[in-house]
Amino acid sequence: MNQAIQILDLLIKIQESSDIFPHESETIFDGINLLEVHCIDRIGTIDYANVTKIAKEMGLTRGSISKICKRMLGKGLIESYQRSDNRKEVYYRLTEDGQRVYNEHKKIHSQARQEELFLLNTFSESEQAIIFRFLSGIFELHN
């Protein structure tokens, strides 16, 4: 994998796991907080998304994900369903409104990624290696 892309992935992980950004109160779309947007992103990308899979992907507890999903069900962003081969498990999928949030979030990340990639490509490979080593260390400190 290109080292500049690895650096970007680390920056995103640092940002999403940082206490600097108060996920519970920061809204980026009308009435939807950042944590809900990231949950929508996971539901949009995971096959047969359930509480366990979402919690694992996001590094949160199943209880936290259950609460987030309950709020998003109430907002009409996701819907729950059961598969005919597993009537015990509850799965989630995006509604039309949830899909719009998912698409906009992807667009925002793509634009930011392009801008940041342009900046990172102004550094030499050896400079990028140093940046990567530094950011990897920061990420390990916070996880």
Q: How far apart are CA 17 and CA 113, in angstroms?
A: 18
Please tell me the pTM assigned to this model. 0.71
Digits of tens for pLDDT over the chain (143 positions)? 688 888 878 777 777 665 433 443 344 577 888 889 999 999 999 999 999 999 999 999 999 999 999 999 999 999 999 999 888 899 999 999 999 999 988 888 888 788 889 999 999 999 999 999 988 888 888 77
Secondary structure of 40-77 in HEC code, one letter for each residue: HHHHHHCCCECHHHHHHHHCCCHHHHHHHHHHHHHCCC
**Scanning the structure block, which residue is given the tokens 């994900």?**
65
- Closest by CA to 24, choosing from 77, 84, 64, is 64
For the chain, domain boundaries: 3-142
Pick the CATH number of 3-142 from 1.10.3720.10, 1.10.10.10, 3.90.1310.10, 3.30.980.20: 1.10.10.10
